[in-house]
Amino acid sequence: MRYIVTGGAGFIGSNLADTLAQHHDVVIIDNLATGRRVNIERLLDHPRVTFVEGSITDLDLLMDTFPGADGIFHQAAIPSVPRSVKDPLASNEANVTWTLDVLVVVTVRCRPWFVDLDLWRLPSFEIMQSSRSPNAA
């Protein structure tokens, strides 16, 4: 299996990538804006890990990297409450708009699927039969 971890040089993303790499191929995408290279040093020489220094704002990068992935773990974010209070528009751009961009690329370049994350039970996965819905534009 091949997995993509956006924000893979952050604390959560790097630990997730480390765990996935025990049995799967992993592509880490991180621009190192808030993630740190030191978090992934142990993975850079791992035969199952590829590190791509880049941003989820680069749609061409996502379009080139996502095909063939069996799953995408989107961890990229600006995880700072003080920063979000100081500059809410930039935080919204990073944490909402760019997440939407990731989801759009997934629908275009990957097998359609849906992950339901409910804090009170385990995640469930559904294969979508059609990307069209009566509510779609």
SS3 90: helix
β-pair type (124-127, 113-116): antiparallel
Contact call for residues 66 and 46 (beta carbons, < 8 A):
no
pLDDT tens, N- to C-terminus, the chain (137 residues): 999 999 999 999 999 999 999 999 999 999 999 999 999 999 999 999 999 999 998 999 999 999 989 889 999 988 888 988 999 998 888 888 888 888 888 877 776 555 544 444 444 444 555 555 444 44
pTM recorded for the entire structure: 0.79
SS3 12: helix
CATH of domain 2-127: 3.40.50.720
Domain locations in the chain as residue ranges: 2-127
DSSP 59-84: HHHHHHHSTT-SEEEE------HHHH
Contacts of 115 (CB under 8 A, 6+ apart): 123, 124, 125
CA Rg value for the chain: 15
Structure tokens at 47: 């035969």
